Structure formats: C-alpha cells, structure tokens
A = this chain, B = another copy of it.
Amino acid sequence: TYNPIFDEDLSWDDATWILTSSFIILTMQTGFGLLESGCVSLKNEVNIMMKNVVDIVFGGLTYWLFGFGLSFGKDYSNPFIAFGWFALDANIQVMGPIFSTFLFQLSFATTATTIVSGAMAERCNFRAYCLFSLVNTVVYCIPAGWIWGSHGFLKHLGAIDIGGSGAVHLIGGSSALVAAWMLGPRLGRYENGTDPLPMGSPTNALLGLFMLWWGWLAFSSGSVFGVSGHKWKYSARASVTTINASFGGGFMGLVYSYVRTKGKFDILDLISGVLGSLVSVTGGCALFKPWEAVVIGFIGGAFACFGIPFFDWLRIDDPVGAISVHGLAAFWGVLAIGLFADGENLLNLTKGNSGLFKGGGFYLLGVQFLAAICFATWSITVTFCLLWSINKFIPIRMEAHEELLGADLVEHGIRRPGVGVSRALSALGSH
C-alpha cells in the first residue's frame, strides 16, 4: 500500500478502486478456507473453516479496536509504534479516506491472521485458537506501521513493500513457523516417513487456489492505492506482473512435481508453486518488468516447493505448507525488490532508489534484507510469547483422543458417515 494515509487528494475514483479491491481481497478468505479445508483430513474439514470465520470476527474486531491505531494512529508515534484511532470513528467530512483505508488495511490484516490457521490445523484447541485470534492482531499491526505508517523506521530508510510480501506474508509465515513448532506434529504424522498425508478434498483445495489467484490481482493492484494521476498505470502493471509471476510459479510446480514423483503431477506441488510465486511478486508488483515477474515467480515457487519437504525433514508439521508458501517465498520476495526494483518512476514509489540489477547498488538490497529480518524476528518472538501465554490458560494442543476423533466432532458436534468416527468413538468408549 503505497499511499500514506490521509492523502488529502484521495479522489472518489481512488476510493472506488480501493473499496472494490478490498471487497475482492476479502474473497481470498473463501479461498484460504477452501484450500485449508481441502488439505486437511475430512474429520477436520469444518473446524478449519470455522477458524477462518473466527479470524474475521475476532481478528477484525481487534483490528478495529486497536490494530489500525497501532499501525497508523495520529495521536502519538515514534519510529516503532503509533497510537490513536482506537475503536476507529471519523466525522463525515473526513470519513471518506479514513474508512476506505481502514477497510483495505483490514482485508490485509485478516489475511495475515488466516495464514497461521493452516499451519495449526488438525491439532489446535478451538478455544485457544479463538483467544489467539483476538491477540494476533498485534503481530501484524506493529510492523505494518514500520513499513507503511508515516512514522515507520523502515519507511524512513526507504524499504519498499507495496503489496505486503513482507508485512503480510512474511509476518504470517513466520508466525506459522512458531505455531507449528510449538504445537508439535499431528499424532502419527511422521511414523511412516515424511511424505505428505493424503488431502481430504483435492478439488476443494484447487478451488481455493483459483479463488486466491484471482483475488491476488486485487491484492497487488489495489495496493497501488488508487487510479488517479499516474497511479492507474502502476495498478495495471501490478496486475500484469502478478499474473505473470504465477506462470513462472506454476511452471516450477509442474516441473518440481514431475521430477519428484517420477512422472505424476501432485496437487499440492502445483498449488505451492503458484501461491509461492504470488507471495513473492506482490511486494514489488508495480516495480517489476513482466519478464522479471516470471523469473521472480519461478524462484518464489521453488522456495515454496522445496521448503515443504525441508520443514517436514525438521519434523515441523505444517499441514498446508504455510511456512514455505508464505514465509520462504515472502523472504525471497522482499529481497527481490532490492534486486529488480526499477528506480525511474512517476510516483516516486522507490524514493529514487533502484535495485542492485538496475544500477542502484547495494543500498536498497540491504534495506530490504533488514526489513525481512525485522519482520521475521518480530513475528517469531511475539507469536511465541502470545502462544506461550495462552497455553498457560488453555492448552493450545488438543487432547490425544480429541485429535484422533477429529475437531469436527469434538468441537462442533458433526458426525460424518464414512470417516470412521463412529468406530473410533466405540473404541474409546470401551476403555
């Protein structure tokens, strides 16, 4: 999101773009829900969707209460945090830009939160997760202020993250890493090696990929934050680089899968390749050339694809691959800006800096590296503290028998024929 908030010149054309983008970005929640519920086993399919609902309800509520204010508030700020606009309201004269921006930022905040839910799937207690949703906002909103708030130290250094490779995906992916590690693997996950478990519903997972794919066009191009003046040109470029990156990432996924499985095309490999490419391109979407986007997406897809077996080798169990897709590919995406960003521009998006490959030297690359380190360190530290504290009140890990029965039955009272729950229930009853 390029434009500092409350640019007085935000026009209704810009607002149309921003609001419409927000509406489309929110459809990505449907995509995440479908993808995650398609990846997990059938006995947890509904539970993961419910976690996505809770992410909006609780995550949205707290973002309105304090998240937006900690990112962009105007009452007080230092380079690391802002205050103000708690329980956001605005008078009718100025509500246009404030409310448009809030909705857009909200759609980003809920995305960052939802990323984590996938990595916690199939073994996280639902009430503990609700509590985490309430406080998780703080993981996202503080570093979003660093890079997008007018007070932020990363912004002052010239760091760039237009569509949130760093502030959304690297934050979410790092958070996912800590959460997956703290929860430990699902029962029996690695008893027969580290091969991926079968997906409950591959069709739903692919549907989720589709919805995320198209939504991402708004995620990237909406981040240019308007269409007036020269902005529409960058919005158009951001759309093209986003879709182009996915060609590279999808190609990577197909090749990776063909080699890995000796001739088959695995669903999750293709999904990871495409999503990894989208994660990696979105940060600098408006600053790349179309062919560079293909390359960046190809490499981003590789990070996602190769990362998944790596974390399984570490016995960090991430049922949907969120750490690799959002974390690793985002790390690459933040750095790619420092390599490829084009300094010449009409909007001063890069403040005169250029990437290493464009003759800008190492300054921008260094700043981007610093930003990535800051995002990851913050997210890992704070997520650990939050989950550690929550675990004192409500154990974050489900009990073993609940996990075996599945969260759909245990948390939501859903009996599904053919999933073997009835038999498992009898077996447990006889103890």
Could you tell me if B53 and A221 are in contact, using CB atoms closer than 8 angstroms? no
Could you tell me if B20 and A20 are in contact, using CB atoms closer than 8 angstroms? yes
Nearest residue, chain B, Cβ from A32? B210
Could you tell me if B254 and A54 are in contact, using CB atoms closer than 8 angstroms? yes
- What is the bound-complex CA distance between A40 and B251, given in angstroms? 26
* Residues of chain B within 8 A of A100, CB atoms compared: 232, 236, 239
* Residues of chain B within 8 A of A60, CB atoms compared: 243-244, 246-247
Given contacts A46-B206, A50-B206, contact A236 B13 (CB under 8 A): no
Given contacts A33-B207, A411-B264, A411-B265, contact A106 B202 (CB under 8 A): no
Nearest residue, chain B, Cβ from A204? B203
Chain B: minimal CB distance from A264 (Å): 5
Residue A259 is within 8 A (CB to CB) of chain B in the complex: no
Nearest residue, chain B, Cβ from A45? B203
Q: Is the interface of A mostly helix, strand, loop or mixed?
A: helix
Could you tell me if B126 and A413 are in contact, using CB atoms closer than 8 angstroms? no
Residue A194 is within 8 A (CB to CB) of chain B in the complex: no
Could you tell me if A203 and B236 are in contact, using CB atoms closer than 8 angstroms? no
Segment at the interface with B among A142-150, A288-296, A317-325: A288-296
Chain B: minimal CB distance from A207 (Å): 6
- What is the bound-complex CA distance between A289 and B213, given in angstroms? 34
Could you tell me if A239 and B99 are in contact, using CB atoms closer than 8 angstroms? yes
A-B contact pairs, 27 of them (CB 8 A): A12-B232, A16-B16, A16-B17, A19-B235, A19-B236, A27-B214, A33-B206, A34-B207, A37-B203, A45-B203, A46-B203, A49-B202, A50-B206, A53-B210, A53-B250, A57-B250, A57-B251, A58-B247, A61-B247, A88-B290, A92-B346, A96-B232, A99-B233, A99-B236, A99-B239, A198-B415, A264-B411
Interface residues of A (CB under 8 A from B): 12-13, 15-17, 19-20, 22-24, 26-27, 29-30, 33-34, 37, 45-46, 49-50, 52-54, 56-58, 60-61, 64, 87-89, 92, 95-100, 102-103, 106, 126, 130, 198-199, 202-204, 206-207, 209-211, 213-214, 217-218, 221, 227-229, 231-233, 235-237, 239-240, 243-244, 246-247, 250-251, 254, 261, 264-267, 270, 274, 289-291, 294, 344-346, 408, 411-415, 417-418
